[in-house]
């Protein structure tokens, strides 16, 4: 069962120093979860090289209780680095993603497109109808190795699809936003709100993602 975790950092004057001081313990914890095959991608959200606004992480765990167990030992949560945490049931699409950065390799900078569907009565049917065109539109990006992760946000574990997260490589935020705006999900009104954030995928001993060669 997959989950996405969005952690937003505090914004007080001491928040950057608190993150720096807590980071070694945070990284040690990530390594443990990655080695156990439970952390599948992780890294900070960074609008620029000097600023961190939070974290974006993806897990493959048994259930929501295991996510709660992660938060119970995660230093960023326990030491007040994160001001709030949102845990989203998620389904990783089985696609041919490039290999993630492994220990000893450089991190990879991507743009995380976080999009939520409409909540009107026709939203679910609209997504179902447009999904083939959405998947077809991803094929050129997949062939170029530009999609590092993609999948659906669910309203509950194994529930309905109510949004999407996709991490893509692009020259800048404008190019990433243009990709999102050209997607059939945007053009056909499936996605009703879209966030684009710069995301650095940190090197860890990750296991292969679904669909990864």
Average pLDDT, the chain: 96
pLDDT value of residue 211: 87
- Please report, for residues 29, 90, 138, 212, the alpha-carbon distance to residue 93 in angstroms, rounded to integers and kept in the order given: 26, 9, 12, 10
State what percent of residues in the chain have pLDDT above 70. 100
Q: Which residues contact 64 (CB under 8 A, 6 or more apart)?
A: 3, 87, 89, 157
Which residues are 33's β-sheet partners?
none
Helices marked H in the chain: 15-35, 64-73, 75-78, 123-143, 173-182, 184-187
CATH of domain 2-201: 3.30.70.1060
pLDDT value of residue 166: 98
Nearest C-alpha neighbor of 181 from the set 97, 96, 115, 109: 115
pLDDT value of residue 110: 98
CA-based max dimension of the chain: 49
pLDDT value of residue 78: 97
pLDDT value of residue 213: 84
Q: Which residues contact 31 (CB under 8 A, 6 or more apart)?
A: 204, 205
What is the SS3 assignment for 211?
A: coil
Nearest C-alpha neighbor of 197 from the set 10, 33, 53: 53
**C-alpha–C-alpha distance, residues 134 and 187, integer Å:** 10
- Please report, for residues 3, 40, 59, 140, 154, the alpha-carbon distance to residue 189 in angstroms, rounded to integers and kept in the order given: 25, 30, 29, 22, 18
Encode pLDDT of 49-93 as tens digits: 999 999 999 999 999 999 999 999 999 999 999 999 999 999 999
Encode pLDDT of 158-185 as tens digits: 899 999 999 999 999 999 999 999 999 9
pLDDT value of residue 212: 87
Confirm if 26 and 43 have CB atoms less than 8 A apart: no
The encoded tokens of residue 42 equal 């992780």
Q: Where are the domains of the chain?
A: 2-201
Tell whether the torsion through CA atoms of 184, 140, 153 and 78 is positive or negative.
negative
pLDDT value of residue 208: 92
Encode pLDDT of 91-126 as tens digits: 999 999 999 999 999 999 999 999 999 999 999 999
């Amino acid at each position: 069962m997959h989950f996405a975790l969005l952690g937003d950092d505090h914004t007080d004057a001491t928040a950057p120093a608190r993150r720096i001081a807590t980071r070694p313990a945070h990284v040690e914890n990530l390594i443990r979860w990655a080695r156990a095959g439970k952390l599948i991608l992780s890294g900070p959200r960074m609008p620029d090289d000097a600023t961190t606004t939070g974290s974006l992480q993806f897990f493959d765990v048994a259930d929501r209780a295991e996510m709660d167990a992660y938060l119970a030992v995660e230093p960023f949560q326990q030491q007040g680095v994160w001001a709030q945490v949102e845990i989203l049931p998620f389904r990783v699409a089985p696609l041919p993603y490039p290999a993630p950065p492994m220990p000893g390799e450089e991190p990879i900078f991507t743009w995380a497109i976080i999009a939520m569907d409409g909540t009107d009565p026709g939203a679910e049917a609209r997504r179902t109808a447009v999904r083939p065109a959405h998947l077809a539109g991803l094929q050129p990006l997949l062939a170029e190795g530009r999609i590092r992760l993609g999948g659906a946000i669910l309203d509950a574990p194994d529930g309905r699809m109510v949004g999407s997260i996709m991490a893509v490589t692009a020259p800048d935020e404008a190019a990433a936003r243009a990709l999102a705006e050209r997607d059939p999900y945007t053009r056909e009104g499936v996605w009703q709100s879209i966030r684009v954030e710069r995301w650095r995928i940190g090197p860890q001993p990750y296991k292969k993602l679904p669909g990864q060669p």
